[in-house]
Each structure stands twice: as C-alpha cells, then as structure tokens.
Chains A and B, each alone.
Chain A
Amino acid sequence: MGFTSKPVRVIEIPEPASEPLLAPEREPQRTEREEEAPVQTPA
C-alpha cells in the first residue's frame, strides 16, 4: 500500500470511548500437568 499524492490535511482524533474488543468465550483448556496427574488407587 502506498499513496502517490501529497497529504491534504492532518487531524487529531481522540481514542474511541467504545468498549474494548472482547475475545469470544472459549472452553477452558486442560493443562498438561492436569492430564498427567497420577491416578490414586486405594492401597
């Protein structure tokens, strides 16, 4: 991308006040440690 013409104006726009972007909800991922936890068996 690039513009061949000269700039015509410079403006300052304040940061939009809208809410921040939110990530879609995801299923919590199991960690490797959880998956590898040893199964305890009764003695």
Chain B
Amino acid sequence: MTPAVGYRFWRVDPDDAWTRGRLQSPVAETLWPPLETLDAECQTRPGLRLARAGLHRADELRVSPEPGCSCGIYAYHDIAPMTRALREEPYMFGGAVLCWGRIVIHPEGLRAEHARPLALCRPESPGVLQRTAPLLEHVTREYAIPLLELKDLVTYASEFGASYKPDPSEPQPRTIDRVRNAVSFRQLVRRLGKAIGG
C-alpha cells in the first residue's frame, strides 16, 4: 500500500529560543524533529474538545490516531485549505507530508500515526517571501527538504505517495450512527422520554 500524501502548514517562529526555527504544529505545538519521523501521540485532555480521549490514552494497546478522538498528525487531501490558512498568520508555512501507519481518513483530510515533511512551498506574497527567505532557507536545510513553488508541490509530492481522498460517492456515516456515537443508550432514552413526555 502506497504511503499517503497530504498538505498542511506549520508555524516557524524565528525568535523563539525553544523552537529554534523548527517546524511546529500550530494547534498542538508539537515540534517536528528534523530528519526523523514524527509519531502521533494523543495529547487531548479532558476539558478539551473531545474528552473521550482519556479512554484510549489509558489503554496501551490502542494507538493514536483513534477514530473517535481528535488526535493524530493532521494533513489535508488538497492544497486549497492549506493555502487559505497561510494567509491568516505570519510565519506560517505550507508544505507536503508523507504519512503511514494507521490513517484515519476524513472527507477533508487525514490523521496519521507517522509522518515526515516532504517539501515546503514558497510564500506567494513577494513581501512575505522577501521577509522570510533566510528563515525558509534555514528550515529547508535543517530538514533536508526542497523549497518549491506552490504550483510544483503536488507534482513533487506525488512522486512519494498517493492521495487517499475519499470518493464523494462514498457513503457517509448515517445520522442514526452519529447520534448513537454521540450519546450513550441511557442518555438517548432519557432524551427521547423528555421529548415525548415533556
């Protein structure tokens, strides 16, 4: 089975002494190790968006990403959501990643167990490009990956793996399954009772 290719963005803070110009996940603040594979680890805590994470973090046999959790290494199937995000924040850079291990596939992207960066893309804005050129040169040298034009990113990444974007005709989870997954049977009965009996 061919490794999965995805597109994502990272924050690179040139002034942060701790991150030292390394690729950083914008949400989980995970640092991607240069020249090594990043392994997923569930960092979700009760109180965050998915409190159910605690259930699988305590089970050593279950690995990240769990389908019912929000953990894993994120990447989009397409470059469009990635480029949209790049316009929102300075020192945010996009690129391609190669993913393998357990892969949880969503309609808009995937969550992976293992990943490594394949390439970064040059910012489209001439001003941003000029401001960040030395930083990008440093980062791509540290990770031994190329700095590509956005238009070349997909072609380059396709040499390493394939897209696992689901076919739009693929059946989505049914509404009743969503309800069943969201609430326990007891909660469901209680809610039905309230709805019927008032």
Task: Give the B-binding residues of A (Cβ under 8 A).
Answer: 1-16, 18, 20-24
Contact = CB atoms under 8 A, between A and B. Distances in A.
A9 B1 CA distance: 15
**Contact-size category for B:** 35 or more
Interface of B: 1-4, 8-9, 25-27, 34-35, 67, 70, 74, 76, 85, 98-109, 111, 114, 116, 141, 143-145, 160-161, 164, 166, 170, 172-173, 178, 181
Contacts of B172: 5-6, 8
A21 B98 contact: no
Contacts, number: 90
A18 B161 CA distance: 11
26 contacts: A1-B9, A3-B74, A3-B106, A5-B106, A5-B108, A6-B106, A6-B181, A7-B105, A7-B111, A8-B106, A8-B170, A9-B166, A9-B170, A10-B67, A10-B105, A11-B105, A11-B164, A13-B3, A13-B4, A13-B99, A13-B101, A14-B1, A16-B98, A21-B144, A22-B35, A23-B35
A24 B116 CA distance: 17
A16 B100 contact: yes
A32 to B, nearest CB: 20
Nearest to B49: A2
Contacts of A20: 35
A18 B100 contact: no
Contact of A1 (B26, B98, B114, B141): B26
A1 B104 contact: no
A9 B105 CA distance: 5
Nearest to A12: B102
A15 B100 contact: yes
8 smallest beta-carbon distances between A and B, as pairs: A13-B100, A1-B74, A3-B106, A9-B105, A16-B3, A7-B67, A7-B104, A5-B107
Given A2-B27, A7-B67, A13 B103 contact: yes
Nearest to B166: A8
B8 A10 contact: no
Contacts of B141: 24
